[in-house]
Structure 1
Amino acid sequence: MKFLTYCLLGICLSGQLLAQKANYVEIASTDTEADIIRKAANVVPTDRQLRWQQLELTAFFHFGINTFTGKEWGTGKEDPQIFNPTALNAEQWVRSVKDAGFKQVIITAKHHDGFCLWPTKTTAHSVKSSPWLAGNGDVVKEVSRACKKLNVGFGVYLSPWDMNAPMYGSDAYNNFFVEQLTELLTWYGKVDEVWFDGANGEGPNGKKQVYDFEKWYALIRKLQPQAVIAIMGPDVRWVGTETGRGRAMEWSVVPSANLDQGAIADGSQKNLVVKPQGDMRGSDIGSRDKIRNAKALVWYPAETDVSIRPGWFYHASQDKQVKTPQKLNEIYFTSVGMNSVLLLNIPPDKRGLISDADISSLQQWTAMRRLTFSKNFLRKARVTCSNGLKLKKALDGNYNSYLTTKDADTATTIVFELKHKARFNVLSLQEAITVGQRVEKFTAYYEDKGAWKQFTSGTTIGYKRLLQFPAITANKIKIDIEASRLNPTIAEAGLYYDAN
């Protein structure tokens, strides 16, 4: 699965979103740089974006006609008769990832080949034309039921590109797509995420489609207002690669360009389309250099997607190429640990089950992660900060409280003193993003024989930043926050030891 047309991705922001101005702010031509920084510091996520960010781990289930052809991308000409899982158990899928710490899943209800995993009324190219359960099966229903039973979030992937639909490439297709989307949003209860990718190739008539994203977004907001709309949508963006590695400097507040000021003035914001400025795949998309010439700023966080296998769909030939627990652990630090949410694909096999190889790797990685983060050496540390307020809030285990600074201080030094020396090689920092993302630069030191020695540093923090370094034994560290957009807010801090 590759993602196309991500440069200058169009984001539609609803009138309600603009009216709240919680995660969006305009920049006036008369604003000084200080004004822009102040505005950027106060852009915050919506409730749906905050819930999504706090999931940290979400799972993709790529399953469909490609599972049975051995291909990654189908053609739309496949015979539905080949779709016939012999032991499909969606509860096994969901339980496997829940046990690994995942809080939400997304099922590929329809991939680019157009084969639908639910008995849609829009086309015969679906499970109802397959021999599975004599045409009476519904994979989407099975997954949604398992999610409800196990208290796991439920999301759907619906490919805008459809190589089977005969009307693809015409205005009629957008209405066809609305019908499919409506079924998915009304037949299965609560939907927590709707995922569109950017692939836009030719249909069976050789034409490409102009997608009516604005209409689709409005439908989702109407039918499932709590759902985040991801990747080709206004709530969540693609990090830019499929490697599992995010950016070392990941800003969730990014520029929006091409604002229709007339639409704002006459109140017709519902038709407003905001486009991110430049290529959203660059290494820096939100620094001061990037936002100083913006027309508006929007909260638009990154999702890091990667598959546990070389491919996105199950292939038996890749059973020995499943990512190792060590590799998954590395990916965790470069996704969740870089202010992103990890979307890990675990594809069910032809039986309709997650394979033993995938489950084994997941289980071992989960054990690694839980061992590492089982003990925070800072938990009972003494905290000092000369210009700080609410010092203990950085260690109280409550994300909704935070340490901050007095007056308008944007720099500070926070000292943590442990009762006894500890050995550690992981630093965890979290900002209170309900206030805003603010920290621009920080450095960490440990005390050694009365002298401070640097052991790591970073730029952005965001919801969570995890930094690894050679193991250190000490009982006193300090975090120098050297630059911040207004007062920094540290919700949580931690020191851990990763033995893997």
Structure 2
Amino acid sequence: MKNKIHFVVIRLLMIALMMRISFAQAQILPKPNAQQLAWQKAELGVLFHYDLHVFDPSKYAQSANRITPVADYNIFNPGSLDVEQWVRSAKDAGAKFAIITATHETGFALFQSNVNPYSLKALKWKDGKADIVKDFVEACRKYGLKPGIYLGIRWNSFLGVHDFIVDGTGEMQKKRQQYYNAMVEGMVKEICTNYGDLFEIWFDGGASGPEKGAPDVLPIVKKYQPNCLFYHNDQLAEARWGGSESGKVSYPCWSTFTYPSTGSGESTYKGISANNFELLKHGDVNGKYWMPAMADAPLRGYNGRHEWFWEPNDEQHIFPLDDLLDIYYKSVGRNSTLILGLTPDNRGLLPEADVKRLKEFGAEIKSRFENPIAVTSGSKKVLQLNLSKATTIKQFVIQEEIADGQRIRSFSIEYFSNGKWEKAFNGFSVGNKFIHLLEKPITATKVRLVINVAVGAFQITEFGIY
């Protein structure tokens, strides 16, 4: 009897200890800030690439573009510019936010800048009074998309800047570097103060920092746009690149990460660049920092092409609908935010073929997920859906509440057919959204989600079958 009591006491103590450990783990789990949470829940955005070389008949080559100034910036002359048409097309695709390249690698600015003379102010077009960033932000607000800004400051072919450093030597280089840094910081302030609340500011290739002689942009963004997602510099990344420009991330994909930033170029941590960026693709289940993944790809990325900027006669390289759907399932459906690159042309319009494909894509996603067969939610380890009759099922959707961190570590999806339970899928990461598309549809009368391992209390906001 004593041995039995002793065993029970030890067992209770062990359970209590495990509960304390689980509670402690839950207390220290990384959690998203408000802008990260909004960015993940948006799920799909677009990035419009526009710059001087869209109007240059020669083929775009990034390596040359970074070091070769455009001979005549007055080639920028879109005769039918309609930024609202761009934004409407993004909305048709189901995008919740849109970003524009306010500056890219030429250094030319698509807004009215008082600190950068190499901007729309310098053009004959519209008498130098146009502000495409302003038009873009207003169009986003008109059509219900959240506006974001892309600023390329790492390269500037006009001013001879490579990897943030102005070309040259001696005192002249030092003075020109000071000018460049002040100009960039001034542009960031203009962007942050002249266009209202922004959803995201994207510094392509990172933004580095003053400790390496580069412009100091993080304090400016945090001061004037505290609710804007910051992506990114050597000090902070509120999101991370998903490791490729395929539009897909690997599974499992965790929203947590090993480091507080991802660095830029040569400054990246060795652990990030190792094994073909494996850490970026998966994240770190035990990471101390909340840093959700971005999956990005150009719409014109099919069949060996990878076009972020418009090229004439390139419509055959728009991703087919089936490929776009595969990208969606392997990005949004794997707990990452998908950003599609779109290419307005030299008329100032998104080409008709691109518009058509975006509309098809949005309609197909809506048709697949608008009307679930059955859906439930809750915090139990087993969530079951009982169907009134044998039903054909093609896909499952799971979402967990991530405001308090990503808590689910392992789960199973099971279905009841022919008098017994069968496994449909064994998984790990859920996060904002997990979608499992079955290779072959199944027929079932009951379906259940089983949470095998979780850190602390969890909440399933949706378990749905479609």
How would you bin the TM-score normalised by the shorter chain? 0.7 to 0.9
CA contact (8 A) 2:148 2:199 kept: yes
Q: State the match for 1:11 in structure 2.
A: none
Aligned Cα root-mean-square deviation (Å): 2.6
| Equivalent residue number for residue 379 of structure 2 | 404
Residue of 82, 87, 103 corresponding to 1:89: 82
- Opposite residue 358 of structure 1, the aligned amino acid is D
State the one-letter code of the partner of 2:69.
K
C-alpha distance in structure 2 between counterparts of 1:305 and 1:284, whole Å: 15
Extract unaligned runs of 5+ from structure 1: 1-32, 202-208, 259-273, 292-296, 380-391, 395-402, 406-411
**SS of the counterpart of 1:363?**
helix
> Aligned-pair distance for 1:250?
1.1
How far apart, CA to CA, are the structure 2 residues paired with 1:442 and 1:39? 18
Q: Where do 1:92-111 residues align within 5 Å?
A: 92-111=85-104
| Per-residue deviation, residues 117-169 of structure 1 (Å, max 9, x unmatched) | 11322233222222321322111111012112222111110012222225743
- Residue aligning to 1:384: none
Q: Report the counterpart of residue 71 of structure 1 in structure 2.
A: 60
Secondary structure at the aligned position of 2:392 is classed as strand
User: Percent same amino acid among aligned pairs?
Assistant: 29
Instruction: After TM superposition, give the deviation of residue 278 of structure 1 in Å.
Output: 2.2
Given the alignment of the two structures, is residue 302 of structure 1 paired with residue 298 of structure 2, yes or no? no
| C-alpha distance in 1 between matches for 2:148 and 2:419 | 53
The code of the aligned residue for 2:77 comes to N
SS of match in other structure, 2:284: coil
Q: Distance in 1 between matches of 2:282 and 2:322?
A: 28
For residues 114-125 of structure 1, the aligned pairs below 5 Å read 114-125=107-118
Corresponding residue of 1:182: 189
Paired position in structure 1 for 2:105: 112
Q: Which residue does the alignment assign to 1:242? A: 245
- TM-score, normalization by structure 2: 0.82
Question: Contact 2:256/2:285 (CA < 8 Å) preserved in 1?
Answer: no
CA drift at 1:487: 2.9
Among 338, 356, 362, the residue aligned to 1:360? 356
Q: 1:471 aligns with which of 437, 441, 444?
A: 441
User: Which residue of structure 1 lines up, in the alignment, with residue 8 of structure 2?
Assistant: none
Aligned to 1:442: 411
Q: Does 1:52 align with 2:46?
A: no
- DSSP-derived class of the 1:186 partner: helix
Tell me, what secondary structure is at the counterpart of 1:53? helix
Q: CA deviation at 1:483?
A: 1.6
Deviating beyond 3 angstroms after TM superposition, the runs of 4 or more aligned structure 1 residues are 33-37, 39-42, 209-213, 274-277
Structure 2 gap ranges (5+): 1-19, 167-176, 262-266, 301-305
Contact preservation (8 Å) 2:416, 2:422: yes
Q: 2: CA distance between counterparts of 1:56 and 1:449?
A: 37
Q: 1:451 — aligned with what?
A: 420
User: More displaced, 38-47 or 486-495?
Assistant: 38-47
- Local SS of the residue matching 2:271: coil
Out of 440, 455, 461, the position equivalent to 1:485 is 455
Deviations along 1:30-70, one digit per CA (max 9) or x if unpaired, are xxx95797057632111111111111111100011121124
| Distance in 2 of aligned mates of 1:100 and 1:440 | 32
Cα deviation 1:205-230 (Å, max 9, x = unaligned): xxxx94647x3111111111111012
Identify which of 135, 140, 160 aligns with 1:142: 135
Matches within 5 A, 1:77-476: 77-78=69-70, 79-161=72-154, 162-165=156-159, 168-169=165-166, 170-198=177-205, 210=212, 212=214, 215-232=216-233, 233-256=236-259, 278-279=271-272, 281-282=277-278, 283-288=281-286, 291=287, 297-309=288-300, 310-379=306-375, 394=377, 403-405=378-380, 412-469=381-438, 470-476=440-446
Indicate the SS of the match to 1:327.
helix
Aligned to 1:19: none
3-state secondary structure, aligned to 2:185: helix
Match of 2:14 in 1: none
What one-letter code is carried by the residue in structure 2 that aligns with 1:487?
A: A
